[in-house]
Amino acid sequence: MNEAFTPSPTPPNIAPRRRAPDQYDTMARTNTVVHPGGDAAETRSTATRKALAAKVDGNGRYVYLNPRTGGRIAVAEAARNVVATGAEPLAITNCLNFGNPYKPDMYYLFREAVGGMGDACRVFNTPVTGGNVSLYNESPDSAVYPTPTIGMVGLIEDIDYITPAYFRQEGDVIYLLGETKPEIGGSEFLKSYYGQITGDSPSLDLELEHKTQQAMLKAIRSGVVQSCHDLADGGLAVALSESCISNRQHQLGASVQLGISGMRPECFLFSESQSRFLFSVAPENAEKVESLFDGLSLQKIGGVGGAKLSIDNLLNVAIADISAAYFNRIHEIMD
């Protein structure tokens, strides 16, 4: 660990960027369905019961460590975000941010990242409708992290399918869908706490990712899913925190029992393993929803309620404290 590095109480990359959307009219023409802060933006079609979900995503650290897999993850994560809202991924656009392609190492990163994006788009059946390329992003000392930014749009067949990321009801059952592996290479935890960007990116099985997304979408369309949030930067610990506090008008705590074995607790909590969702259902729908994920890793991990987030004997924090640390961080830095 770099001795000059001071861990941040809340990594800025995790904190919400509300400072930007708050400067604009997020309810333009009154078609916005859910206020900013969810997994994707949803805009209704006034002529039908359909809606569109849109998400912009990308992680330069993954591409820097493993450009092929990083390119695949960029598309997969954007797709996972629109699925979490109840949308079927349709197509992508992109902005490719890289260094000087005449340098062999920069060209290799660019070629492999674009190849990875193509791999994912073919599996998800999401054509690339357009995009732009920004090259030569370098200083005399280094280049920017290779960052393919993906814009994904999805179709919500009926506005009743729209699903928020935040917990909605006391007593709901919380599930973790997908397998958690000790994958912290390129993670927010490794960068924020140890000041390092090293290791390999998380692994990604594109066929499993697609199968998991389709199963989650089927569950949402069945009408039993109360909330759904994808796991990405920060892993399970951050996803749980965001699910507790994202609805600032009605924040709900959670009690979670993970029964971690076979890996260190911090690896489980902050692993950024792909193909995972955190979702909640009413207790009477638990048996029904469990039948929808045959052949996939599904773990009932706890329940919604109270004024704290409690995880085994590892964490017991007031929701008010999590909310203050989360929502105030960017303002603290900017001010």
Do 281 and 170 fall into the same domain?
A: yes
User: If DSSP codes are grouped into helix, strand and coil, which group holds residue 221?
Assistant: helix
Q: Lay out the sheet containing 41-44: strands in order across.
A: 41-44, 51-57, 147-156, 88-97, 128-134
Do 139 and 275 fall into the same domain?
A: no
Q: What is the pLDDT of residue 3?
A: 40
The answer to whether 8 and 192 have CB atoms below 8 angstroms apart is yes
The answer to whether 152 and 52 have CB atoms below 8 angstroms apart is no
Q: What is the pLDDT of residue 25?
A: 64
In a domain, 46, yes or no: yes
Rounded to two decimals, the pTM is: 0.91
Rounded to the nearest integer, the mean pLDDT of the chain is 90
Residue finishing a domain among 162, 188, 206: 162
Q: What is the pLDDT of residue 5?
A: 41
Do 198 and 238 fall into the same domain?
A: yes
Q: How far apart are CA 304 and CA 56, in angstroms?
A: 29
CATH (domain of 145): 3.30.1330.10
The answer to whether 309 and 315 have CB atoms below 8 angstroms apart is yes
Do 153 and 193 fall into the same domain?
A: no
Residues in Cβ contact with 154 at an 8 Å cutoff, skipping those fewer than 6 apart? 40, 52, 53, 54, 55, 79, 82, 83, 85, 87, 88, 89, 90
Do 213 and 300 fall into the same domain?
A: yes
Do 220 and 247 fall into the same domain?
A: yes
Kindly report, residue by residue over 263-296, the tens digit of the pLDDT: 999 999 999 999 999 999 999 999 999 999 999 9
Q: What is the pLDDT of residue 26?
A: 63
Q: Under the phi-then-psi rule, with left for phi > 0, alpha for psi from -120 to 50, and beta for the rest, what region is 290?
A: alpha
Do 309 and 172 fall into the same domain?
A: yes
In a domain, 113, yes or no: yes
Do 262 and 334 fall into the same domain?
A: yes
The answer to whether 119 and 72 have CB atoms below 8 angstroms apart is yes
Total domains, the chain: 2
Q: What is the pLDDT of residue 7?
A: 44
Do 171 and 309 fall into the same domain?
A: yes
Secondary element (H or E) of residue 52: strand 51-57
In a domain, 237, yes or no: yes
Reported as half-sphere exposure (CB side, CA atoms, 13 A), residue 49 has a value of 6
For strands 254-256 and 298-304, give the pairing. Answer: antiparallel
CATH (domain of 216): 3.90.650.10
Do 245 and 140 fall into the same domain?
A: no
Kindly report, residue by residue over 40-77, the tens digit of the pLDDT: 887 887 789 999 999 999 999 999 999 999 999 999 99
Residue finishing a domain among 162, 187, 212: 162
In a domain, 48, yes or no: yes
Tokens 């930014």 locate to 149
List of the chain residues with pLDDT < 70: 1-10, 17-32, 34-37
- Determine the structural domain holding residue 196 and report its residue range: 163-335
Residues in Cβ contact with 240 at an 8 Å cutoff, skipping those fewer than 6 apart? 174, 254, 256, 278, 309, 311
Q: What is the pLDDT of residue 249?
A: 87
